[in-house]
Amino acid sequence: MASNKNHAAQARAGNHGHDGHHDLESLRLMGFWIFLITDCILFGTLFATYAVLSNSTAGGPTGAEMFEMPGIIAETFILLTSSFTSGLALLCMNRGDRKGLIGWLAVTAALGACFIGLELNEFVHLVHEGVTIGTSAYWSAFYTLVSTHGIHVTIGLFWMIAIMIQLGKHGITPVTRRKVNVIGLYWHFLDVVWIFVFTVVYMMEVM
């Protein structure tokens, strides 16, 4: 129903420039790209903070003493794989395969949930060892940077679920197509940020 209306609107808007649905979807995609720039700066500021405070352990434990790398490497592979599966979802969408699209999105979300689970596990482990956000400036920066990424992933999960429901209801329309494109961008972006987290926070600390 809604998709019919959208197509009609698109057809009407087709021949005159800058309003109507089709252009609206491209506007939204551009708006999202600009939002990603702002998110880049947000993470950039957190990375800078982490860099400034990376030696401020106030005599307490350092990251190198506390990190357990196997779990973190597993997290990394899971998140990288989920970027790949979100790409497969996009391929399905471009083929018009709704079932495949929803299926691959579900796999992506499941991998994302695993990532969050492992991250929470790491935090719980650290807190048990006695390292909290209040231990020193270093750990304040660590928890804030890593969990900001984690919160982003969590929001992405709920968002993806909402989009899967909408795909089930409306099918692949210009609107849902844009929504899938946007969540795909968001997911890849978080992956890139994680690569930086992995390198700056974990690798540079333990190497």
Q: Note the residues at the interface with another protein (CB under 8 A).
A: 2, 9, 12-13, 16-21, 23, 26-28, 30-31, 34-35, 37-39, 41-42, 45-46, 49, 52-53, 56-58, 133-138, 140-141, 143-144, 158-159, 162-163, 165-166, 170, 175, 179
Tokens matching residue 144: 């804030």
Quickly count: other Cβ atoms within 10 Å of residue 5's Cβ.
11
Q: Minimum distance from CB of 4 to another protein (Å)?
A: 11
The residue with tokens 């252009």 is 23
Q: Indicate the residue among 81 and 147 with the shorter CB distance to another protein.
A: 147
Give the nearer residue to another protein in terms of CB position, either 37 or 207. Answer: 37
Report, in Å, the least distance between residue 31 CB and another protein: 5
| Nearest distance from C-beta of residue 180 to another protein, angstroms | 13
Residue 25, both tokens:
């979807």
Tokens 């999960």 -> residue: 157
Task: Copy the structure tokens of residue 73.
Answer: 């490497």
Q: Cα separations (Å) of 171 from 26, 88, 101, 130, 166?
A: 19, 17, 10, 50, 7
For another protein, the closer CB: 81 or 166 = 166
